[in-house]
Structure 1
Amino acid sequence: MNHGDPTMTPFAALHHRPGRPLLLPNAWDHASAVALAEAGHAAIGTTSLGVAAAAGLPDGAAATRAETVRLARRLGPGGFLLSVDAESGFSDDPDEVAALAVELAKAGAVGINLEDGRADGTLAPVAVHAAKVAAVKAAVPELFVNARTDTYWCAQGAPEPEAETENETETETLRRLEAYRRAGADGVFVPGLADPAAIARVVGAVAVPLNILWTPAGPDLAELASLGVARVSLGSLLYRSALAAAVATAAAVAAGEPVGPVPGYAEVQALNER
């Protein structure tokens, strides 16, 4: 699919702007999504950690299917492009994952994020994840499938990886990305990949847009753009920042320190009307 393709959806087109990656902030409820949209973001993602934590459930453990669909139904009519973080699809059965994709699309989602990482820290077999991607594209062809591999996050769990191990991780990453592309993925996502040279190599090797997770220790948005990255996600960063701000605000009040600025009551109430 290229930028001149008349069948490209508006959301897909945001991934085909050389030098202008899509900055995708991730919301966890209605208010956070609307506030981000009103700040000028045309597309909003959801964060599985934020959705799970807000419900008191674990992330990445296939425990939040109902909460994820419920949030998509709230946000779908919001007037912005919605991409849903669906963990691993909450199932290893491709038909069940496809049924979820149909629900999300009916709710108004234009994109879905599917990861191959598992709760125990292992990776799903390539064929299993590729089958999910293929099933979703067969059921909802217009839904943008962002196929995520957690190869780098799993590699970071090993003690002091050597250069050979890092090379093996990159090789395995590219093998998985190619399999997911062949299965129909519209884009691919490699969280944990932060080395500029490695990012450039992956961009050059994959034939679909590359999504990178922004991290404070990694390249900034301008450098990621120069490397050819098509999409930069914020993941759970905003949710974690909100938690930190809440605790810090309470501490400031206790210490008699100034607080603010923060949105007013009426301003937050107004978000629910839009």
Structure 2
Amino acid sequence: MTARCAAFHALHHGDRPLLLPNAWDHASAAAFAARGHPAVGTTSLGVAAAAGLPDAAAATRAETLRLARLLSPLPVLLTVDIEAGHADDPSAVADLATELAGLGVVGVNIEDGRGDGSLGAPDVTAAKVAAVKAAAPGLFVNARTDTWWLGVPDPLPATLDRARAYREAGADGIFVPGALDGRTVGVLAAAIEGPLNVLYRPGGPTLDELGALGVARVSTGSLLFRAALGAALDVLDAAVSGRPASTEPPSYAEVQRLSPVSGAEPFAPGRPS
């Protein structure tokens, strides 16, 4: 395992959950890194939407690799959302993971949700996890189960069964997105061996509260991408209506400094509190 991969693994065993901001382009990732976040993920929805493609449809393999190449020089640990692996064949998923690892990526997300709104068979996802770990053992494989996300009846037993299968296949962490209450999060953290990842939810438990429940990693998912789009619409609507915008955007110069060829220090330095 490389030192960078080991450092990313270690972030899941700190005193506080790892808060993982999810980027969709170079500017967003560079801005998150400049805020002091030690690791940045990608959001498959943001990557797909920015390219005019559907999410969760295995349509963005090329865009995912292109973004990873673009982000790899940033001074941050990078983990990449690869949806369900962009293939049904575990060996093809392993090939993608190996290519990402060669770019310096330290982790991948693999999900069992399908584009048609159904759940894939757990043995298929487990086979993909095993193939990735065999091909790129240093990668942190975060296996996501969409049992809550897709509204599976009585999701807790199904979640635990799938989490067990993915861990036995070699997954390093388990990601359970959805609007989970604190009690459910605590049950999952206690029952799942290994780091538990949940989504940050505005108005939901805080980072410290999630840490007290046993959560190791908190992802923003597509939230920041959607928030950026919402802020753009707010400014546009403000221009139409004549009201003040509720968001103050970064200046031209601040965004320009995010470019690796600008030669200037990126804006908003400092570690997150």
Structure 2-normalised TM-score? 0.91
Q: Deviations over 1:142-162 (max 9, x none)?
A: 000000000001216xxxxxx
Q: Deviations over 1:150-201 (max 9, x none)?
A: 0001216xxxxxxxx43xx100100000000000001000001512111111
What is the match of residue 7 of structure 2? 10
1:45 is paired with a residue whose SS is: strand
Structure 2: runs of 5 or more not aligned: 262-273
Distance in 1 (alpha carbons) for counterparts of 2:178 and 2:52: 25
Distance in 1 (alpha carbons) for counterparts of 2:163 and 2:141: 12
Q: Residue 222 of structure 1: CA displacement?
A: 2.0
What is the match of residue 162 of structure 2? 176
2:79 is paired with a residue whose SS is: strand
1:106 to 102, 108, 120: 102
1:188 is paired with a residue whose SS is: strand
Q: Which amino acid counterpart does residue 204 of structure 2 have in structure 1?
A: G
What is the match of residue 266 of structure 1? 253
Distance in 1 (alpha carbons) for counterparts of 2:134 and 2:73: 24
Q: Which amino acid counterpart does residue 230 of structure 1 have in structure 2?
A: A
Q: Residue 258 of structure 1: CA displacement?
A: 3.0
Distance in 1 (alpha carbons) for counterparts of 2:53 and 2:9: 31
What is the match of residue 240 of structure 2? 254
Q: Residue 8 of structure 1: CA displacement?
A: 7.0
Distance in 1 (alpha carbons) for counterparts of 2:4 and 2:211: 25
Q: Deviations over 1:20-60 (max 9, x none)?
A: 00000000000000001101111000000000000000000
Q: Which amino acid counterpart does residue 84 of structure 1 have in structure 2?
A: V
**Structure 1 stretch displaced more, 212-221 or 198-207:** 212-221
Q: How many residues align?
A: 258
What is the match of residue 182 of structure 2? 196
1:233 to 211, 219, 241: 219
Q: Deviations over 1:191-238 (max 9, x none)?
A: 015121111111111111000011225322221111010000000000
Q: Report the RMSD for the aligned CA atoms in angstroms.
A: 1.6
Distance in 2 (alpha carbons) for counterparts of 1:8 and 1:100: 17
Detail structure 1 runs of 4+ shifted over 4 Å in the superposition.
Answer: none
What is the match of residue 141 of structure 1? 137
Q: Which amino acid counterpart does residue 234 of structure 1 have in structure 2?
A: T
> Is 2:111 aligned against 1:115?
yes
Distance in 2 (alpha carbons) for counterparts of 1:28 and 1:215: 19
Is the Cα contact below 8 Å between 1:193 and 1:212 reproduced in 2?
Answer: no
Distance in 1 (alpha carbons) for counterparts of 2:49 and 2:42: 13
Q: Which amino acid counterpart does residue 57 of structure 1 have in structure 2?
A: L
> Is 2:90 aligned against 1:94?
yes
| Pair 8,246 (structure 1): closer, same or farther in 2 beyond 3 Å | closer
What is the match of residue 76 of structure 1? 72
What is the match of residue 214 of structure 1? 200
Q: Residue 7 of structure 1: CA displacement?
A: 11
Structure 1-normalised TM-score? 0.91
Q: Which amino acid counterpart does residue 122 of structure 2 have in structure 1?
A: V
Structure 1: runs of 5 or more not aligned: 1-5, 157-164
Identical aligned residues as a percent: 60
